[in-house]
Structure 1
Amino acid sequence: MGIGGGLWNILCSFYEHASSVVKWMGNTSDEFIIEQGVRQGGILSADLYKVYINQLLDRLYYCGFGAKIGDIICNAPTCADDLSTLGDSTQELQMLCSIANDYSKMERYELQPKKSVVLPHLKKRSKTTDTPVIFLGDQQMPVVDKTTHVGVVRTPDNSPTTAIQENLQKARRTLYSLMSAGLHGENGLDPETCIHLFRTYVIPILTYGLEIYLPSPNDIRPLEMFLKKVLKQILSIPVTTADPASFILSGLVPVEAIIHLRALSLFGNIALLDDSSIEKKISI
């Protein structure tokens, strides 16, 4: 879990001279040196933040409270500043939230109150959820029926339906934004270029995070319909054309195959991790 101080010193010495500018309403400020925080979109920003936040993750891990799989503690899945605490009881969750809040006070940063929410877990046997009362400092955290963690929509029953609907809406918006560049069948860019743009920008959004759920064919039917419809429009072929023909002409594969490929890739990445990593221990 720990990251050595040597790495912190190397990264800071490399990054201390980073500079930036501010753009506002078409105007650009003079260049200035960044002396606090990390640069938005900077190459090293994510790594620097991971080093900075690692002490909090260590505290959450070694406190011993929260969710466990067997004897493996996995109480705080985190990606950069997107942290989620997991617990089997209100008392455990309150302890984890208090640790995170105390750390923020010690390091002098503020937690985002609108994004700090409680998502109860649906009990499979009783089909009901408890409504825990959790405080972040002196403010009670709101209880919600869905929230987003690392870009994946979570619900009390952990169903992929909501995540699929969100992905479909985002993919449509992305597709519409590319139409002005010529991504629209007839009188647009050539099919090969359109397929490349669609594969690069739309499909990753359409299938984002679904390798975690592994949804059933019925769940992903709306995604399949969207993919087939768009492919036929890009290729300028009739909607009555057999689906295999559109996949052969475009070189793409169905949504279900894309999700399975991503799941195999995820498993392969976990298998290559060090034996001491939590992900590797859970997979074993």
Structure 2
Amino acid sequence: MFKFWYANQQNRVRWANSFSAEYRLECGVRQGGLSSPALFNLYMNNLIDELSRTGIGCHIDGVCINNISYADDMVLLSPSVRALRKLIDVCESYAATHGLKYNATKSELMVFKAGSKTYNTIPPVMLCGRPLNRVTNFKYLGHWVSDDLKDNADIERERRSLAVRCGMLAHRFTRCTTQVKVTLFKAYCQSFYTCSLWVNFTQRAYSGLRTQYNNTFRVLMGMPRFCSASGMFADADVDSFSTIMRKRSASMLRRFRDSPNTILGTLAERWDSPILGRWIRLHAVK
């Protein structure tokens, strides 16, 4: 049924009130289609199974973690260059069998540091005949990952994004009522994407984000710059910065423990894990 549907459908692109000429879908799944995520997962599931069966990769409590996949974004984890090459061979073989080809220019290689130990040069790792470009940080699903496992870059990303949203709200909604401003602030300024993953960072970066959050509320509500942050949030019935961090970490821990995923279950039970230690300190240490 799906084969007939994809072979015979016609597509058009809408721009404002105009439509493009009809064209047929040559490859891939329909962008925005309700069935597209499920179809893509079915298509890629065999590759994930093949990678998992190799037994090559990083291990935590006997659980092999060699790939993390979300839609068409895939991360391969390996303790050595040789093992990584074998994982890439599996991916290339699967792609060749299914008429696909990886884009080496959009693929990157990162070597995580072990404390102060690092490797300035490593043997080349090839993908589709091209060496992968080695980087010190990259953005995965909107979250900045660094080779030193520090979160300063991602915290700075969130601070800049919050500053942009602050300017937008203050400019467009300055004449709105207090209740409307509070509602907008909660909707636009309290997301803190991936904040529950922040473990290793400098106090300067973290304090900068907290200050930006406090100042955003002051600017939006027209309050003095040096008024009490705890007082203004309590009066408006709005969560403070530290309250949001505690709520996000508690929510993430609950989802970890409730998830049937073996990788998440393993991480949730590692009491020596830095991320679990961070979540506990948020609630137990002032």
1-side partners of 2:33 and 2:166: how far apart? 27
Matches for 1:94-243 after TM superposition, within 5 Å = 94-124=85-115, 126-132=116-122, 133-178=124-169, 182-183=172-173, 186=174, 188-204=175-191, 207-214=192-199, 218=203, 219-243=205-229
Shift of 1:19: 6.8
What does residue 282 of structure 1 align with? 267
Percentage of matched positions with identical amino acids:
20
1-side partners of 2:26 and 2:106: how far apart? 27
- Structure 2's unaligned 5+ residue stretches are 270-286
RMSD, aligned α-carbons? 2.8
Shift of 1:120: 0.9
2-side partners of 1:170 and 1:48: how far apart? 34
**Does the Cα contact within 8 Å between 2:158 and 2:193 map onto a contact in 1?**
yes
Aligned residues: 266
Question: Could you list the per-position Cα deviations for residues 205-243 of structure 1 after superposition, in whole angstroms to 9, with x for gaps in the alignment?
Answer: xx2112112456824211111111110111111112111
SS of the equivalent of 2:144 reads strand
- Structure 1's unaligned 5+ residue stretches are 1-8
2-side partners of 1:107 and 1:122: how far apart? 36
What does residue 6 of structure 1 align with? none
Question: What is the identity, as a one-letter code, of the residue corresponding to 1:221?
Answer: S
2-side partners of 1:179 and 1:239: how far apart? 15
Against the structure 1 CA distance between its residues 119 and 242, is the aligned structure 2 distance closer, same or farther, given a 3 Å change threshold? Answer: same
Shift of 1:26: 6.3
Normalised by the size of structure 2, how large is the TM-score?
A: 0.81
SS of the equivalent of 1:114 reads helix
